[in-house]
Amino acid sequence: MSKVHNFGAGPCILPESVLIEAAKAVTNWNGSGLSILEISHRSPDFEAVITKTQTLVRELLNVPDNYAVLFLQGGASTQFSMIPMNFLQGKRRASYLDTGYFAQKAIKEARLFGEVEIVDSSRNKNYSYIPQSYEMAHGSAYLHLTSNNTIEGTEIFNFPKTSVSVVCDMSSDIFSRTINVQDFDLIYAGAQKNLGPAGMTLVIAKNAFLDSVKCSVPSMSDYRIYRDNKSMFNTPPVYSIYVAMLNLMWLKDKGGVEAIEQVNIRKAEMLYAEIDRNTMFEGLAHHDHRSRMNVTFKARDVETEKEFLTLASKEGMVGITGYRTVGGFRVSLYNALPIESVTALVSLMRDFEKVKLRAVPLVSSN
């Protein structure tokens, strides 16, 4: 296909083979003469798709049998309110770790349903690190974490061991690295970063946690209804689930999460090494908490930043502008981004520095 290097943060790059297969299914799915977009979600063919997608999620993340795998809609943002609606109402409080923009959004919604305790925050340092040691007040309904802070470029590598139920927003690093599902009571992720196209939200939840809900919630916000109806209480996001299935098959083919994690580590190391070496750039996140999915950095001044952006866009590199609240650059290295794209970016950064270093003495000598 094209030579575009897509470093976008989300919706993001999907494997080319997945896109080709997904495109075929729009006009003639499985040789049926029908489009995947016009079949009944109750048909045996689609039931097979949703079952297979669930099975792949279970296999790839080693999800234990006492956890439900659910497909919802409304993005990760709907989970910000659905979680407290189910688990905070009628309880004293829930605890939140404030690690960035999306954690803040989750906190805002939770406050509509009960008391929110912010156990710690890295706001004072522009969310450039993950707070390490914090304590929770007694009787917290759950602790909410954001495993990867997509905008700020930090990632949690050590999850707290606690008796409190842990709920985690894994939207931007799920399937990028191995996790121990049993460390969590509920995991959620909007699909459009490492899983598939926008439109589907994955929830993995411990059955006992779901069964602990005592308050009444509307059907479309009731996790148990999704569980009891195999995620088909109403019409599910058929196409998003189908493309996610293709993407998970691709991942399994690549050797699964363990294998892709090694590639992701290499990609991130290559880019961070260049940021640290290159005198034109500077990383934004604390070394120990640097995200492998979203690499944030800045240029040494505004002029340099503009020059590099122009150069990168000429080379077909898209999606590297930092989020408006952070500025600088953000380069996303999701599963489907080939290592060649990272190599291309790193060599562009090297060449750029060479040119700039040659230019500087001329300017300063007059």
Ligand X SMILES: *Cc1c(COP(=O)(O)O)cnc(C)c1O
140/149 with CB nearer ligand X: 149
**Torsion of the alpha carbons at 297, 299, 301 and 305, rounded to the nearest 10:** -110
Q: Shortest gap between Cβ of 173 and ligand X (angstroms)?
A: 8
- Distances in whole angstroms, Cα of residue 204 to Cα of each of 86, 225, 307: 15, 14, 44
Omega before 338 within 30 of 0, i.e. cis: no
Q: Closest approach of Cβ 83 to ligand X, in Å? A: 12
Q: Which is nearer to ligand X, 11 or 114 (CB)?
A: 11
Question: Any contact of residue 222 with ligand X (CB under 6 A)?
Answer: no
Neighbours of 63 (CB within 10 A): 18
Among 56, 61, 72, 75, binds ligand X (CB under 6 A): 75
The beta-carbon contacts of 301-308 under 8 Å, at least 24 apart in sequence, are: 304/280, 304/356, 305/329, 307/352, 307/356, 308/280, 308/349, 308/352
CB of residue 160 to ligand X, shortest distance in Å: 18
* Least distance in angstroms from the C-beta of 365 to ligand X: 47
Residues paired with residue 148 on neighbouring β-strands, in sequence order: 155
Q: Which of 17, 73, 77, 126 binds ligand X (CB under 6 A)?
A: 77
153: contact with ligand X by CB under 6 A = no
Whichever of 79 and 140 has its CB closer to ligand X, that residue is: 79
By CB under 6 A, residue 322 contacts ligand X: no
In the list 95, 122, 172, 296, the residue contacting ligand X (rule: CB under 6 A) is: 172
- Among 109, 152, 169, 222, which residue sits at the site for ligand X (rule: CB under 6 A)? 169
Rounded distance, CA 274 to CA 266, Å? 12
How distant, in Å, are the alpha carbons of 183, 186, 255, 263 from that of 259? 21, 25, 5, 7
- Cα dihedral 327, 196, 258, 103 sign: positive
Which of 7, 87, 102, 226 lies at the binding interface for ligand X (CB under 6 A)? 102
Q: Is 295 in the site for ligand X (CB under 6 A)?
A: no
The residues that touch ligand X, with contacts defined as CB under 6 A, are 10, 75-77, 102, 146, 150, 169, 171-172, 190, 193
